[in-house]
Structure 1
Amino acid sequence: MAKTVSPASSRRIVIVTDAWRPQINGVVRTLESTGKVLREWGHSVDYLTPEEFWTVPVPTYPEIRLSLASRRAVFHRLAHARAHHIHIATEGPLGLLARRYCLERGKAFSTSFHTRFPEYLSARLPVPQDWGYGYLRWFHDPAANTLVPTPSLRDDLLNRGFSHLRLWGRGVDMERFKPGRSDVFAHLQGPKLLHVGRVAAEKNIEAFLSLDVPGTKIVVGDGPDRARLEKLYPEAVFCGYRHGEDLVDAYRGADVLVFPSRTDTFGNVITEALACGTPVAAYPVTGPKDILTDGRAGVVHQDLAVAVRRALMLTRSDASAHAENFTWAASARQFLDGLVPATSRVAGMAAAI
């Protein structure tokens, strides 16, 4: 059984991630928010990211860049970090090299499952999802612990043959995301229905834009599908990315956040919207059904239009009250509990490489 780490006991932690700034997504937000809390507790958190290496853009998705790091560079970097704990957050080039370093040097490590890449890939290319999950099982299998954000995702991955799964929930910054007045969408016809996130195929945004419901549909975010969707749905308002107080104002100015994705593993924008007092409408899938456990905060339904209509009847105070159940301190505690000493040897190293 993995040892736990006390917040009061300073540790050197290396987090390896292929997802990093300038990307704007839940993975980056989660890693930054967790690291902030850990540093406040006195731990040393070192991120090994694509910022340190040459990168190339992913075809059709230029905002995501893949590292061209060498084995020698990554091995040297990790060896000199002298980390008490190594956590591999992603399954890309840096994650693969860090995994190989740990296995060759006999160091135990943890991983985390953030993204359903098999579904994302099959949304673009004719690649069977089983192939993608086969790779992900291979990648995570030698980890002492694989951290997952929700109980429903844990159950799904167990059914797919994954093992050593532990919960690592998410939080929301209640100091930043909080109820308040906003006139940002006052000029638009109500009710104001908001979507926040990447404008990409895997987000299923057309399920939102095609809804036969009254009001104005607003999309905050950008991505490869934006130009196509703007032409198909000229009545919708596309705002591009919003940051800081502009993003908070967008949440506050909406009557409902509509979350049409069926492939997200959590959905940080859900807790952000709730914290601002905005009820949520979503499908009953992993992420939404784990977060929206109180029907006074949001509605999950197989018919998204039904979910929207019912969510419009909810109160903003109930939504913001439910968000208080999600703190980054609790999330960081679970992350620490899932770490393992890097000095431990990994069983079955040769077979895993």
Structure 2
Amino acid sequence: MAEPLQADPKAPLADLRIALFSGNYNYVRDGANQALNRLVGYLLRQGAQVRVYSPTVPEPAFPATGDLVSVPSIAFPGRGEYRFPLALSPRLRSDLAAFAPNIVHISSPDIVAHRAVTWARHRKLPVLASVHTRFETYFRYYNMAWFEPAVEAMLRRLYRRCDALVAPSESMAQVLRDQRMNYDIDIWSRGVDRDLFNPGLRSLEWRRNLGIGDEEIVVGFHSRLVMEKGLDVFSDTIDELRRRGVVHRTLIVGDGPAREWLEDRLPDAIFAGFMGGQDLGKAVASMDVLFFPSTTETFGNVTLEAMACNLPVVAAAATGSESLVADNKSGRLIPPGAITQFADAIVTYLDDADLRAKHGAAGERRARDFSWDRINQAVADTYLRLIRQRAKKR
């Protein structure tokens, strides 16, 4: 096994050997694995060595950054696009031993992550867990809210066995503290690519191709279309706008297993489908207001991308959005599920072009603070700190 890093506060990142475990590194695109791939890319550029362990599929959503080792998995029941990791097999244990990491990073609370933590603890290696979503809340959207306390207890057991956690926002870190998950929690925020998301990408031609008039005001949503993104609240609010006779267009960018449900629910909405890269930036910049009522975000990449495009954001007052949106300055934060209040906030923006512009500009200024390199260096600094702390205990 590789010798641990010495307690040198200026130790170079080239001394890092990171074993990263992910439940979904690249087979389905989402905000969490986009952040992980960016992190790995940054670490590799700094000379660190990273080996990623994750389920794989023959045709992933995008190429993996770094060395990817396939973890045995099966399709997740009821959500076949996702894979359920099965075991830290002898093959993986042999690969780990050959790689000889000096820190282990887990990013999803699955069986293999539990086994990886045990593997690391037996070898007195530090373990960092990154928290990307509020898994315990997902069961509310599938009529299984009764199961949430048990899931929270299972998460606590895993996270308390880790040396530290990183969370995407201070609001999420406080939730984790309140849940007694761990008391060593650093912030690993999220960045935004300003080449892909900026006001200059707004395109009236793109809107026209979708049948949107130049003077029409667009209430937009962009995310993976799954129920835990608040699609029920979104559709109920759009219905409320319709009942009030509020003139607007609803634009939904994204795809997922709940798309058919949402298309049936909102037959007058425009569904642009999945987009990536600059096409996605153009779609977001071509909206006028982002409406994002999800309560399961730990950060809110969608919110930050809209802010970078100069849009005011109407969001649920929940983890993630609370750390990004300044209420009544760059958008509105509304109590989760408060349909009438969501509708009121959207109407205010639809009726007041000057307020849209003012709050959009404030959000764009805030988005300038989120540099990916600075953000990813914070994770690297946490790796180095945990290795130094572990070395002192030997």
* TM-score calculated relative to the size of structure 1: 0.90
Task: Please tell me whether residue 46 in structure 1 is matched to residue 79 in structure 2.
Answer: no
Instruction: Report SS of the residue matched to 1:224.
Output: coil
- Which deviations, in whole Å up to 9, do the C-alpha atoms of 1:227-260 show, x marking residues without a partner? 1221121011222211112111111110011111
Give, in angstroms, the shift of residue 198 of structure 1.
1.8
Q: Please say which of residues 232-241 and 179-188 is displaced more in the overlay.
A: 179-188
Question: CA 1:124–1:333 in structure 2 vs 1: closer, same or farther (change >3 Å)?
Answer: same
Residue of structure 1 equivalent to 2:390: 344
Give, in angstroms, the shift of residue 157 of structure 1.
1.7
Instruction: Report SS of the residue matched to 1:341.
Output: helix
Task: Please tell me whether residue 117 in structure 1 is matched to residue 135 in structure 2.
Answer: yes
Residue of structure 1 equivalent to 2:61: none
Residue of structure 2 equivalent to 1:20: 25
Instruction: Report SS of the residue matched to 2:125.
Output: coil
Residue of structure 2 equivalent to 1:327: 371
CA distance in 1, matches of 2:112, 2:166: 18
User: How do residues 190-339 of structure 1 correspond to structure 2 at under 5 angstroms?
Assistant: 190-211=216-237, 212=241, 213-293=246-326, 295-302=328-335, 303-312=341-350, 313-315=355-357, 316-339=360-383
Give, in angstroms, the shift of residue 5 of structure 1.
6.6
Answer yes or no: is the 8 Å Cα contact 1:177–1:272 preserved in 2. Answer: yes
Answer yes or no: is the 8 Å Cα contact 2:19–2:105 preserved in 1. Answer: yes
Residue of structure 1 equivalent to 2:65: none
Answer yes or no: is the 8 Å Cα contact 2:218–2:249 preserved in 1. Answer: yes
Instruction: Report SS of the residue matched to 1:22.
Output: coil
Give, in angstroms, the shift of residue 295 of structure 1.
4.3
- Which deviations, in whole Å up to 9, do the C-alpha atoms of 1:177-205 show, x marking residues without a partner? 22213132232252111111121121111
- Per residue, is there more helix in 1 or in 2? 2
User: How do residues 88-237 of structure 1 correspond to structure 2 at under 5 angstroms?
Assistant: 88-126=106-144, 127-163=146-182, 164-180=184-200, 181-183=202-204, 184-186=206-208, 187-188=211-212, 190-211=216-237, 212=241, 213-237=246-270
Give, in angstroms, the shift of residue 218 of structure 1.
1.4
Question: CA 1:158–1:173 in structure 2 vs 1: closer, same or farther (change >3 Å)?
Answer: same
Answer yes or no: is the 8 Å Cα contact 2:43–2:49 preserved in 1. Answer: yes
Give, in angstroms, the shift of residue 125 of structure 1.
4.3
Question: CA 1:36–1:298 in structure 2 vs 1: closer, same or farther (change >3 Å)?
Answer: farther
Give, in angstroms, the shift of residue 41 of structure 1.
2.6
CA distance in 2, matches of 1:260, 1:100: 37
Residue of structure 2 equivalent to 1:351: none
Q: Please say which of residues 142-151 and 312-321 is displaced more in the overlay.
A: 312-321
Give, in angstroms, the shift of residue 264 of structure 1.
1.2
Instruction: Report SS of the residue matched to 1:114.
Output: coil
Give, in angstroms, the shift of residue 301 of structure 1.
2.3
Instruction: Report SS of the residue matched to 1:306.
Output: helix
Count of residue pairs brought into register by the alignment: 346
CA distance in 1, matches of 2:392, 2:155: 18
Gapped regions of structure 2 (runs ≥ 5): 1-5, 57-69, 336-340
CA distance in 2, matches of 1:29, 1:6: 28
Question: CA 1:311–1:139 in structure 2 vs 1: closer, same or farther (change >3 Å)?
Answer: farther
Give, in angstroms, the shift of residue 46 of structure 1.
2.5
The higher-RCO structure (CA 8 Å, 6+ apart) is 1
Answer yes or no: is the 8 Å Cα contact 1:14–1:45 preserved in 2. Answer: yes
Residue of structure 1 equivalent to 2:100: 82
Question: CA 1:179–1:7 in structure 2 vs 1: closer, same or farther (change >3 Å)?
Answer: farther
* Structure showing greater Rg: 2
CA distance in 2, matches of 1:135, 1:96: 10
* TM-score calculated relative to the size of structure 2: 0.81
- Which deviations, in whole Å up to 9, do the C-alpha atoms of 1:278-325 show, x marking residues without a partner? 221112111111111374432212321233234552224333222101
Q: Please say which of residues 268-277 and 186-195 is displaced more in the overlay.
A: 186-195
Answer yes or no: is the 8 Å Cα contact 1:85–1:342 preserved in 2. Answer: no
RMSD, matched Cα = 2.5
Residue of structure 1 equivalent to 2:62: none
- Which deviations, in whole Å up to 9, do the C-alpha atoms of 1:116-172 show, x marking residues without a partner? 111102321424311111000001101111111111112122111122222221111
CA distance in 2, matches of 1:153, 1:71: 33
Question: CA 1:307–1:22 in structure 2 vs 1: closer, same or farther (change >3 Å)?
Answer: farther
- Which deviations, in whole Å up to 9, do the C-alpha atoms of 1:188-226 show, x marking residues without a partner? 252111111121121111222232143111111122221
Instruction: Report SS of the residue matched to 2:165.
Output: strand
Give, in angstroms, the shift of residue 27 of structure 1.
0.9
Give, in angstroms, the shift of residue 56 of structure 1.
1.8
Aligned mate of 2:42, from 20, 37, 40: 37
Answer yes or no: is the 8 Å Cα contact 1:75–1:98 preserved in 2. Answer: no
Task: Please tell me whether residue 59 in structure 1 is matched to residue 77 in structure 2.
Answer: yes
Instruction: Report SS of the residue matched to 1:57.
Output: strand
Amino acid at match of 2:207: F
CA distance in 2, matches of 1:258, 1:58: 30
CA distance in 2, matches of 1:4, 1:241: 46
Answer yes or no: is the 8 Å Cα contact 2:88–2:116 preserved in 1. Answer: no
